[in-house]
Structures are given as structure tokens and as C-alpha cells.
Amino acid sequence: MKRSMICAARGALRNLQYAIFAFCLLALNANLPAQTAKSDSMPTPFQRGGIYDRPYILKLGGNTALGGYAEMNSNYVRVDGIAEGFSLEQRRFNIFLYSAISPHVKLTSELEFEHGTEEIALETALVDVLLATPLNLRAGILLPPIGRFNITHDSPRYNVIDRPLVSTEIIPSTLSEVGVGFFGAFYATPFDRFTYEIYGVNGLHDGVILGTGEGTRIPAGKSPLTFEEDNNGSPALTGRLAYNPRFGGEIGLSFYTGRYNTFQLEGVQIDEPRSLRMFACDAEYRKRRLHVRGEAALAQIDIPPDNVDNDFLAEKQRGFFVEGDYALLRRPLLGMPEANVIIFSRYDYIDLHHGKFEKTGQSIGDSKKRLTAGLAFRPTADTAIRLSYWRQWEYDTFNNLAHAMNVQFGIATYF
């Protein structure tokens, strides 16, 4: 009891420190004197929708810029015919800080407040040293490039309110880790570009199989302790290669591999090393009013061979989503010259335990299917007012089916 009270007090103190830090950033930005900007013309090979493709940076007027985004939603949930009622949700309030220290050195960070101050996290805090377009150094708290969504996850960029299942329940979202590595771009022709990122990071934690009691859950392997040190002294490796062809769009391949369990303490081996491997492919294409994107992922997890719960610990997980948007209206509306009205739909599928029971040979459940459709109004490209409806079919371990639905209305905007 005493230990839990101490942990709770430490958590509250950490949240208070983050809040004070955010307040100081806002106060500093309000009192910054006008200044002549240092040159920020060094080209940065950035990912469309990534940390350098944000409106507050594109409107940079000085050495340092402050921005962010906010997301507010309402939900009306029904599970197996039983309504949970109507509720309002302050989902996220994120603060970005960017500084062009010199033409070759840049710093960017993101501080996230989720559900008010229920969860406060320093999502990114990294320094980039720009050497040349093909080779640049990055170090700090970064977003591992496993799948495209993890590195381009800002809510105002999307018309669907909820994040994809494969990008949250298989690939943890948002996954951020301490790491160091390189990124850059190559041009095969003036119209065909390849970009890459590759980093060594501390990796995930024992919670992958021990964190929830519900079986293998990769997101439960996230831990604040990994921002301080690696739990096993064996860094993970992650990377992504993307191709932007001349006809538009993007195709990406990515991976994440590393040991997740604590197999040694102070140089003494206490367990067998167990690894986690994730592979993802993603694609995006935009033409005129149509925009389609998708992502698929496969995870392979080493589990203890003598564990009595092996039927309930998944060695393989897989999933994907496919999403399409179509702009019904693109013209000035109600005095808004950049107004857009968009219809959208998305299909999600995840299998959190791909396999069969050893004794019966029957397929193991633990899977979800979800179909989402809705309408979005964008007064500007940086603001989305969204109405969506989704239905979900969820199977437990023994393939018992539960139906769920949710009607959502929300607003997400950059600032």
C-alpha cells in the first residue's frame, strides 16, 4: 500500500513538472521579441505528414516556433445492444516546439496531454544534424518508423476520428523511444525519390507478454523506464524505406526487431533472450478528389516454451486497414475560401492471436473487424470537423462474438 502511494505521488509530481514546462513554453513564446531569422533554407528530407510537415514550421518567422494541435470528440457507444450513453472527450492537446539552431542543426519536440492530464508524455525531443540530403544524423526521443501511421499520426491530418486498429493494437501508437540513427533521401530521377530512416532504440519491455493478463499485447511493452535505460542492454533496430514515384503517392516497407525481455541483470543471465519482430508495408495515393491509404503489419513474438499459458500467449499477430476519402465539395463556403466537404470510409482487421489451440486444433479467436464511414468538413486544410459511425465485430479467445457500434462527432485542428 505504501509503495503504491509513493508511485502515485511520483507520477503526480512528474505530471506537474510537465505542466509547468508547458506553461513556461507558452509564456516564453508570448514574450519572444521580434528577431531576424537565421537561415533555415537547408533542405530537410521529410516524410509527408511527419514532424517537419506541420503548419507552424511552414510559417516559421524566427529561430523558434511553437505550435500544436487539439482534438475534442463525443461518443455514443453501444455494445451487444446495451448503450453506454453519450459522453464528451478531450482526447488530446499537443504542444510542438521547433528551433532552427543553425542551417544544419534543428531541434523539434512534442509534449502530449491526453484526456486532460490523465496522461502526459514527452512524445518527441530530438536533434537533427543535417549533413547532406542522403545522410543526416538524428538523436533523442524519436518515433520509430514502423509503419507510416506511427510517424504521421497527427489527428488533424485524418478524417476518421479513431486511429487504425493495426496501428494501435499491434504497432503501438504512438510509439516513441530514445534512439540514434540516420535518415535521408535519394533521387533516382528528378521525379522519383527514395527516403529512408534507420535507428537503434532501447526497445520494448517485458510487458509485451506480462503487462495486461490478456495474452500477448505489444503496446503493453511500452514503459517510461525505457527513456532512462534499456531493460536488457540489447538495443532494438528499426527502419523504413519509402518510394515516391513520379505519378504520385508513396509505398513504404519497414521493420522493428529486438529483444524485449529482461534476460540479464548486472551481467548475469537470468532468462533466455526473447525477441520481437514487426514488419509493415504501407501505401498512399492521391489523385484529384480521391485519396486512398492503407497499412498492413505482421508481428512475431518469442514466448517462453514452458509457459502453461502458451495457448493464450500469441506468437504471431497480423492486421491491416484500407481507407478512402473523396472530396464532394471544394469551393468557397460560408465565407471560407478553402472549404472542403469529404466523405470517407475505412475497413480494419486485426488478429491478435494467429494460430490454433494445441489440444483441439480449433482456430484461436482474439480478433476484431471494424467498418467506419462518415463525413468531414474542413474550413481549412488544418482543421477537420468530423462525423463518423463505426460497427465492430470482436471475437474473444474462444471465438465468442461481441457487436459494438459508436457514433462520434469531433473537431481536430492545428494551431
Residue 390 C-alpha cell reads as 463505426
Average pLDDT of the residues in 226-241 = 93
Both 101 and 20 in one domain: the answer is: no
- What's the DSSP call for residue 226? G
Both 251 and 132 in one domain: the answer is: yes
Phi, psi (5° rounding) for residue 189? Answer: -140, 170
43-52, 82-91, 180-189, 351-360, range with the lowest pLDDT: 43-52
For 315-325, how does the pLDDT look when each residue is reduced to its tens digit (9 = 90+)?
999 999 999 99
pLDDT band at 225 (very low <50, low <70, confident <90, very high): confident
d(CA 123, CA 50): 13
Q: Which one is predicted more confidently, 201 or 36?
A: 201
d(CA 313, CA 305): 11
- Where are the strands (E) in 260-339, listed by range? 264-265, 268-269, 275-287, 290-301, 316-330
User: Which DSSP helix (H) or strand (E) runs through 96?
Assistant: strand 82-102
Both 21 and 85 in one domain: the answer is: no
Both 17 and 58 in one domain: the answer is: no
Q: Which residues of 77-97 are buried (b: 16+ CB within 10 A; e: fewer)?
A: eeeeeeeeeeeeeebbbbbbb
Both 10 and 116 in one domain: the answer is: no
pLDDT band at 40 (very low <50, low <70, confident <90, very high): very low
Domains in the chain: how many in total? 2
Both 221 and 301 in one domain: the answer is: yes
> pTM of the prediction?
0.86
Both 20 and 147 in one domain: the answer is: no
Both 350 and 294 in one domain: the answer is: yes
Both 252 and 400 in one domain: the answer is: yes
Residue 275 C-alpha cell reads as 525477441
**Cβ-based neighbour number of residue 405 at 10 Å:** 15
Both 373 and 267 in one domain: the answer is: yes
d(CA 195, CA 363): 40
Average pLDDT of the residues in 71-92 = 94
Q: Which residues of 220-255 are buried (b: 16+ CB within 10 A; e: fewer)?
A: bbbeeebeeebbbebbbbbbbebebeeeebbebebb
**CATH number for the domain harbouring residue 106:** 2.40.160.10
For 306-358, how does the pLDDT look when each residue is reduced to its tens digit (9 = 90+)?
765 567 899 999 999 999 999 999 999 988 999 999 999 999 999 999 988 87
Both 233 and 276 in one domain: the answer is: yes
Which residues constitute the domain of residue 286?
39-414
Both 140 and 5 in one domain: the answer is: no
